[in-house]
Chain A
Amino acid sequence: MKKILALVLALALVSCAIIAMAEDVPVMTKEEYDKAAVDDPVCVETYVQANQSWWDGKITVYAQGEDGAYFLYNMVCAEEDAPKLVPGTKIKAHGYKAEWSGEIEIADAVFEILEADPYIAEAEDVTALLGTDDLIKHMNEKVAFKGLKVAPSKVEGQDGEYAFLYAYDNSGSHDSNSDLYFNVELNGEVFTFTVESYLCGNDSDVYKAVEGLKIGDTIDCEGFLYWYNGANPHITGVTVTAAAE
């Protein structure tokens, strides 16, 4: 009990400190947010679309409103508040703009839940933008890709070909809830998609769907356009539209 109380107090202290640092910042539009420099304090009102699993007083949230999307990395959150962040919930988040391996995110954020009608973003079909410089404009948004062919994944030093890998080099496993990596091909170009296990774990439909993929399957995918040294979508839904022959 003492420990829980201490943790709550510690989180409250950190939250107060961050709010105090960022309290002068008014709520920004997406355009204002885009113009802010890395490390500037930012404040946005947006809607939760999904979140990664709560861990150690923090939660990572994929958020999107009608004017754009945000990635709130390791937002300060008490464990009892985590279940309140259901998709559609409107939040106001204070934090700092940050960039990590190309991903533009809000770091050290604290949030409050706002009373509002829920908003669930529609996935925008960005298939045509795959491999183009324009794709980055949709960073963090809920997106869809259609008519992709599952391309073989290989492990360095091995001859085999796989429809997906547990961890980037197949060093993981289902039981250890490893991220899944799979390649898709469109117009001769190959792209790597990820099932981020803290977002969709090994008991989720998408995880099972990817484990069931075959090389050559044609699929539609949905997910959030995360960035890691390039586009690295975190996939939340996969539908096989044509099975491999």
Chain B
Amino acid sequence: MKKSIVKRTAVILLIILTTLLLSGCHGKRSGSAFSVPDHFDDKTPVEIVFWAKNDTNKNQVAVYQQAIDEFQALYPNVTVNMRLYTDYSRIYNDVITNISTNTTPNVCITYPDHIATYLTGSNTVAVLDDLIKDARFGLGGSEVRFDAPKADEIVPEFLRECRIGEHTYAMPYMRSTEALYINEDLVKKLGYEVPDVPTWDFVWEVSEKAMEQEEDGTFKVNGQKVLIPFIYKSTDNMMISMLKQLDAPYSTDAGEILIFNDTTKGLLEEIYTHGRSRAFSTFAISSYPGNFLNAGQCIFAIDSTAGATWMGSDAPLQDIHKEQVVRFSTRVTPIPQFHPDQPKMISQGPSVCVFSKENDQEVLASWLFVQYLLTNGIQLGYAETEGYLPVTTKAQNSAEYRDYLARKGEDNKEHYRVKIEASELLMKHTADTFVTPVFNGSASLRSAAGQLIENTVKGARRKQEMNDAFIDKLYSEVKSLYRLDQISGTKQERKIPTSSKAVLGLIVGVWVLIGLFKLREARKNKTKQGK
């Protein structure tokens, strides 16, 4: 009798503790884990909300709309409502706001960094591993009503980027990297030849040489009053890429912040000198690199390959007046490298995630729509709007895409040479791409990396002195601004939380009590037997 009481008490306590422990593993909101339904209900109407991001490009909007129309024709009971954004940070902000009210979209264009933050809510983002493998509804599954790619037809590097911890939370949608767009005529005029893979030293040296001015203030190399030889659009990427190329610390996979180190300091000191001479500037400080490049006022412009349609004299998209555009030969190369024989460049571009919902059919419909975004028609249609690369080998190897690449330079619209060369750059260097570790707070760290450069260049332009005090103050301000001391995973935050400690203590305590109870029982029995 007493034995069974002990057992029952232990079982009940264990259940309570397990519940406590499991609830402690999650965020504030509870949600139900998704399991793949037996069938797709094609009778009950389902509405899914899709938050999409475009580069202010009507052709991209048209491709999204094409995907929706074709998908709805295949699944007539599903309605896809699209909301368009032109800015990832706005999507990120809106998703976070909507997590708290349980009104997230069903499908969302996103970055893994952002997903890591979304995951602080319980079951907020659907885990896709089971869906990907499902024989019926998985990638290219038997009950999928269109020609979807199989799992092994997703470029493995790009699929890996969508894994956070042990699970896949997104599918890659498009990929790009950064390219160095060069006014080759001005480089030659300065007495240099453009190497296949320029080094940082080369770019700095040519940029400084270009700063020579005539007595009237015009720059010798372009004969204009304005020249910023080197402009980097994304300083986040600039710092991240420089550190990666030097194999220098940035963060650990667990989220320990390592960026505030001496290598970073050395890079900032170098950047400072070129900010001070005005040979280098950034998008945030001066404006779009492409505008300066096309006006003959910039020699080295670094921007996304997904911005290639804005780059060059013949660019189909121009943001400056026609009369300001000058004629020059545009070279497209990898971004500058410290070790050109081992180039490293960032992998970026939109991924797409599915949000968890109570209704499994809604999640399944969302997943099917995500798969539709990976079909050749959509992949090629979207990739060709810019210098994007399709994320499936199925699309990359298709005859249609091969024909598209082969027609490079045939016209200055669909087959604009610079755009296709930008896509080819990533295709050639897919194995040389990298991404930074993803964790809750990695998006902030990324912004902080760029802010270090922005503040350094501003400081240089504003005639502040570069010294240890400057760096110390900069590090302190940036840490504070992006709350990097609060990110989980940093050393001081990796301690076990108090609540978890309490639960663990309780478990130990309960087992000790059970042990003591058992011991007491055993003694009693022994005493009885002895008697």
Question: A residues engaging B (CB < 8 A)?
Answer: 2-3, 6-7, 9-10, 13-14, 17, 21, 39-41, 96, 98-101, 108, 155-157, 167-173, 175-176, 178, 229-230
Contacts and interface: CB of A to CB of B under 8 A. Distances in A.
B328 interface: no
Interface string B60-99: 1100000000000000000000011110000000000000
Contact of B84 (A3, A41, A156, A172): A172
A101 B483 CA distance: 31
A169 B473 contact: no
Nearest to A7: B483
Interface string B39-60: 0000000000000001011101
A10 B483 contact: yes
A9 B482 CA distance: 11
Given A172-B86, A176-B86, 11 more contacts: A14-B477, A14-B480, A17-B477, A98-B285, A100-B286, A101-B287, A108-B458, A167-B56, A169-B57, A171-B58, A229-B324
Contact of B480 (A10, A99, A156, A230): A10
19 contacts: A3-B483, A6-B483, A10-B481, A14-B477, A14-B481, A96-B462, A108-B458, A156-B316, A167-B56, A167-B86, A169-B57, A169-B58, A170-B58, A171-B54, A171-B60, A175-B83, A176-B84, A176-B85, A229-B321
B486 interface: yes
Contacts of B413: 157
A33 B481 CA distance: 29
Contacts of B291: 101, 229
B319 interface: yes
A171 B321 contact: no
A184 to B, nearest CB: 17
A230 B321 contact: yes
Nearest to B464: A21
A148 to B, nearest CB: 20
Contacts of A10: 480-483
B473 A176 contact: no
A172 B461 contact: no
Given A14-B477, A169-B57, A6 B84 contact: no
B320 interface: yes
Interface residues of B, number: 33
Interface in B485-515: 486
A103 B319 CA distance: 15
Contacts of A167: 56, 58, 86
B287 A171 contact: no
B61 A100 contact: no
A229 B462 contact: no
A173 B56 CA distance: 11
Interface in B276-301: 285-288, 291
Given A10-B483, A229-B321, A168 B56 contact: yes
Given A7-B483, A13-B481, A155 B58 contact: yes
Contacts of B482: 10
Nearest to A20: B473
A175 B82 CA distance: 10
Nearest to B287: A101
B305 to A, nearest CB: 20
B462 A41 contact: yes
Nearest to A39: B461
A96 to B, nearest CB: 6
B315 to A, nearest CB: 12
A229 B86 contact: no
Contacts of A17: 473, 477
A108 B481 CA distance: 14
Contacts of B58: 155, 167, 169-171
A3 B488 CA distance: 13
A70 B464 CA distance: 25
Interface in B303-340: 316, 319-321, 324
B57 to A, nearest CB: 6
B480 A9 contact: yes
Contacts of A155: 58
A63 to B, nearest CB: 21
A9 B461 CA distance: 27
Contacts of B483: 3, 6-7, 10
Contacts of A39: 458, 461-463
A9 B86 CA distance: 30
A97 B458 CA distance: 11
Contacts of B61: 171
A98 B291 CA distance: 17
A241 B16 CA distance: 74
Interface string B88-124: 0000000000000000000000000000000000000
Most buried by B among A10, A155, A157: A10
Q: Can you list the 10 inter-chain pairs with the closest CB atoms, starting with the nearest? A: A171-B58, A101-B287, A39-B461, A176-B84, A10-B480, A169-B58, A171-B61, A10-B481, A6-B483, A13-B480
A204 to B, nearest CB: 19
Nearest to B286: A100
A57 to B, nearest CB: 9
A204 B480 CA distance: 36
Contacts of A2: 486
Contacts of A100: 285-287
Contacts of B285: 98, 100
B278 to A, nearest CB: 9
A41 B462 CA distance: 8
A124 to B, nearest CB: 25
A155 B83 CA distance: 21
B188 to A, nearest CB: 28
A158 to B, nearest CB: 9
A229 to B, nearest CB: 5
B332 to A, nearest CB: 23
B42 to A, nearest CB: 28
Contacts of B463: 39
Nearest to A167: B56
Contacts of B319: 229
